[in-house]
Amino acid sequence: MDIRSAHFLISSPREAQCPPPDRPEYAFIGRSNVGKSSLINMLTGRNGLAKVSGTPGKTTLINHFLVNGSGEEKGWYLVDLPGYGFAKRSKKQREQWQQMLAGYLQQRVNLQTVFVLIDSRLTPQQIDINFINQLGAWGVPFNIVFTKSDKNKQSETARHVKQFLHTLSESWETLPEHFITSAVKKTGREKVLSYIDSLNGTL
Ligand code: GDP
């Protein structure tokens, strides 16, 4: 899929304030510093679109971007969700985040899938597994994007991916789609965009 236009629309504190659910939507989430902003910029080909390494944990907002939605085209929404694992978040902020996220993920009717980002340099982390299991409990469709694959040898990345999927298979009968990406080398861009394109086509 070609990206012809991409721009920031709005940040919303809760699902009810998000733009009308009138086009397919794809949300991105992961642990702080996993490479989410870099991935969003890489996919859209817009370097400053999502802020790379902004103030971690500062916000609990749902950030909407409109992609390929200019002129005659309806396009699709890309959503940047505040991630988990911020050490600096207060108890109150954590509760706000949880409420916002639970509401958004369970109520957003046009949400096609959630891209859960996993750092490909790491062995399986409990915090990621817990988050994925929570998605399962809510019945939210998701897939996995392994990030920063340029930082390790290919064999090491492959080992971590295998370990992660193996850990998931302990609680999941079928495994989700997964993608191996690097924002630096633009690895995986076409695959992720084709996947989005194929889901767009089902509407
Ligand atoms: P976020 O907090 O999840 O939005 O993560 P960022 O996109 O801000 O990335 C965190 C750090 O990892 C930054 O220093 C990025 O430059 C770096 N980073 C992100 N993606 C990649 C990648 O694919 N390869 C490499 N080598 N570094 C990356």
Ligand 1 pocket member 37 (CB < 6 A): yes
Computed on alpha carbons and rounded to an integer, the radius of gyration of the chain in Å comes to 16
List phi, psi (to 5°) of 157.
-60, -50
User: What stretch of H or E contains 179?
Assistant: strand 178-180
Domain range enclosing 95: 3-200
CB of 33 closer than 6 angstroms to any ligand 1 atom: yes
Task: Chunk the chain into consecutive blocks of 10 residues (it has 203) and report each block's average pLDDT, rounded to whole numbers.
Answer: 94 95 97 94 93 60 94 94 82 88 97 98 96 95 98 97 97 94 98 97 68
Burial of 192 (0-12, 13-18, 19+ CB in 10 A): buried
> At 66, which CATH number?
3.40.50.300
Structural domains counted in the chain: 1
The reported pLDDT for the residue numbered 56 is: 52
CA of 71 to the centre of ligand 1 (A): 33
Q: Which residue has the tokens 């679109």?
A: 49
What is the structure's pLDDT at 57? 47
For 81-102, b where at least 16 C-beta lie within 10 A, e where not — what string? Answer: bbbbbbeebeeebeebbeebbe
